[in-house]
Amino acid sequence: MRERDIENYLVKRVKALGGEVRKVNWVNRRGAPDRLVMLPDKAFWVEVKAPGVEAEPHQLREHTRMREMAQVVYLVDSYEIVERICE
Ligand SMILES: [Mg+2]
């Protein structure tokens, strides 16, 4: 299973729940999570990886900075985690 399969599944699940998903890239900065997920009752950022693949150190540093500023950032490497975070 590739990262793209899990990302496509995430997009499909969020749309089925009536939410919005955006692909994300910072300007002049690396490490942005892959997606911003917006649901009627919550919003969060998602870094998608192929199963068992870790985030890069620079991505983890950015996630930490974001979490320190009240952002919710999930690392997602399976369909099961997609289901859990979208509940
Ligand atoms: Mg990714």
pLDDT at 6: 98
Classify 73 as helix, strand or coil: strand
* Segments making up each domain of the chain, as ranges: 3-86
pLDDT at 80: 98
pTM for the complete prediction?
A: 0.95
| CATH number for region 3-86 | 3.40.1350.10
Query: Distance (Å, rounded) from C-alpha 43 to C-alpha 40?
Result: 8
Span from the CA of 40 to the centroid of ligand 1 (angstroms): 24
Span from the CA of 57 to the centroid of ligand 1 (angstroms): 13
pLDDT at 86: 95
Q: What would the pLDDT profile of 8-45 be if each residue is shown by its tens digit?
A: 999 999 999 999 999 999 999 999 999 999 999 999 99
Span from the CA of 33 to the centroid of ligand 1 (angstroms): 7
63 pLDDT band, cuts 50/70/90, is very high
